[in-house]
Amino acid sequence: MASGGFKDPLIGCIHGDTEEWLYDWLTAKQLPRFNGRGVLRVVREVGLRAWLAGFSPSMLQPARERALALRDRMRSEGVKALVLGRVGYPHLLSQVPDAPWVLFVKGDESSLSARRPVSIVGTRKASSVGLGGVASLFDGMDGVQWTMVSGMADGVDASAHRHALDRGVPTVACLAHGLHAIHPRTNVRLAHRILEEGGCWVSEYLWGQPPSKYTFPARNRIIAGLVQAVVVVESGDPGGSLITARLAQDYDRRVFALSPAWCSVAMKGNARLIREQVAELLHAPEDLPEAMGWREARLDAAGIERAFDSEASERLFEALNPYRAEAFDTLVERLEEEAHSLRKRLLEAELEGWVRCWPGDRFTRTIR
């Protein structure tokens, strides 16, 4: 065993040097059966080196040469490879059950460990409402140190990257192809600006691999895995953003959706996510940092005077949460108050706009 070797729970074998393992992995990617059904399970059990030993020298040697050339090309282009389970691999992504074994990075990889990563996603055919929603989200996060992750697509993604750059927010572009190019070509200048201003591109795909209809959905799991929260700005139904949102829910991330306009076809996906309780509703731009606990909820002076006009009302507002609906019976028990009296105060607060009633006789406090 090489000096400093350790038991890697991913590969299921003992090995030492990361560069040696990466060379084996790049070699395996050149072989026809590596991505075949059942092969990855075998590799996990016996290890890459043992699996490669099963190939004849006539097949293995050309694969080794191609892997070496690929590794040298990526290095010359400034692409780094982060290996799952090793130093430098993004911690949040490593928690995802289907995290890629290798993540390629171009640019400053420190963005991958920056504070409070949030993904902003949405349709490629963003409306003026959707683009305005992106700008409002950044307004709501003003003063909060955070990192923006998106997919470099046209529409909402590109708008989110631009706003991040304009406001000095670290940004990560997650690509559905190798880091040799940018798709779509219309975003090439934007992508290079990300590198110039300290952000990075990431991908699980080898240098030179083009995008396909399969790589975009697979890419979405990385977007969801890199962040603490996903915000769907504007999405149709169906839409790629819904895939990202459901993956984020599976990964135990917070998922939010901007309040949908009832007459907007472009926001049907938002409505579905909220209806199916995949996403929490964002009423206003400042809701996001407050929901994540990055900023205390604030009421204006007039609002405080109206909302807390008595000790009982103050206790009611303390008992209500903006993002978790409380049942009426639970509130009665918690506040130790007669039902008819509490019902009256809830109705008055709802008419004032400080309380919202949900199906099932449940209530939340409204952030204003």
pLDDT at 28 over 50: yes
pLDDT at 278 over 80: yes
Q: Taking the domain 301-365, which CATH number applies?
A: 1.10.10.10
Lowest mean pLDDT among 6-10, 16-20, 304-308: 6-10
DSSP codes of every residue in 319-366: H--SSS-EEHHHHHHHHT--HHHHHHHHHHHHHHTSEEEETTTEEEEP
What's the average model confidence in pLDDT over 131-138? 92
What's the average model confidence in pLDDT over 191-211? 96
Q: How confident is the model at residue 32 (pLDDT cuts 50, 70, 90)?
A: confident
What's the average model confidence in pLDDT over 133-147? 93
Task: Tell me the CA distances in angstroms from 90 to 82, 108, 275, one per residue in order.
Answer: 8, 13, 32
User: What is the percent of the chain with per-residue pLDDT over 90, rounded to a whole number?
Assistant: 48
The residue with greater pLDDT, 62 or 237, is 62
User: What is the percent of the chain with per-residue pLDDT over 70, rounded to a whole number?
Assistant: 87
Which amino acid type is present at position 273? L
Contacts of 69 by beta carbon, 8 Å cutoff, 6+ apart: none
Beta-bridged to residue 171, according to DSSP, are 148
- 3-state DSSP assignment of residue 137: helix
pLDDT at 200 over 50: yes
CATH class for domain 109-291? alpha beta
- Mean residue pLDDT of the chain comes to 84
Nearest of 51, 22, 55 to residue 39 by alpha carbon: 51
pLDDT at 1 over 80: no
Task: Tell me the CA distances in angstroms from 136 to 31, 143, 303, one per residue in order.
Answer: 48, 14, 22
Tens of pLDDT along 221-255?
999 999 999 999 988 777 788 999 999 999 999 99
Count the Cβ atoms, other than its own, within 10 Å of residue 365: 22
How confident is the model at residue 2, as a pLDDT? 35
Angle at 157 between CA 143 and CA 368, to 5 degrees: 40
Q: How confident is the model at residue 208 (pLDDT cuts 50, 70, 90)?
A: very high
Angle at 76 between CA 72 and CA 77, to 5 degrees: 120
**Sequence spans of domains, the chain:** 1-76, 109-291, 301-365
How confident is the model at residue 322, as a pLDDT? 75
CB 363 within 8 A of CB 357: yes
Q: Comparing 109-291 with 301-365, is the CATH topology the same?
A: no
Q: How confident is the model at residue 195 (pLDDT cuts 50, 70, 90)?
A: very high
The residue with greater pLDDT, 42 or 227, is 227
* Strand bridging mode 6-8 / 13-15: antiparallel
Tens of pLDDT along 342-367?
888 888 777 776 788 887 888 888 75
How confident is the model at residue 269, as a pLDDT? 85
